[in-house]
Amino acid sequence: MIYGDADPLAVLFTDTIFSLEENDDSCRFCIKLPFVDKKDIDLLQKGDELFVTVGNQYRSFVLPPKQKGKAVTGAEYADGKLQIVLGQ
């Protein structure tokens, strides 16, 4: 009843949820957050972990070894994506 005519074993979502784009001295960590109001997003960095909170939900991301020690230097939310810039 929940799935109607759809196959409950079918893959229903295949898009990429987050990505990391590396440059020479910085990187951009992008997280898809559709249907979110910008004022509901909080970002916190503790050491090599990023904490993203939306309303009463949060998710933590551990930075990959190559990005450890880099600090958040900027963040922007547009078109359903949170883009976090990490630099020296």
pLDDT tens for residues 44-65? 999 999 999 999 999 999 998 8
pLDDT (0 to 100) of residue 22? 87
In this model, does residue 3 exceed pLDDT 90? Answer: no
Return d(Cα 37, Cα 21) in angstroms, integer.
24
Choices 1.10.287.130, 2.60.40.790, 3.40.50.300, 1.20.120.350: CATH for 18-87: 2.60.40.790
Model confidence, pTM: 0.82
CB 54 within 8 A of CB 33: yes
* pLDDT, position 38: 94
CB 30, CB 18: distance < 8 Å: yes
Instruction: Name every residue whose Cβ is closer than 8 Å to that of residue 14 and which is 6 or more positions away in sequence.
Output: none
Q: Is the pLDDT of residue 23 over 90?
A: no
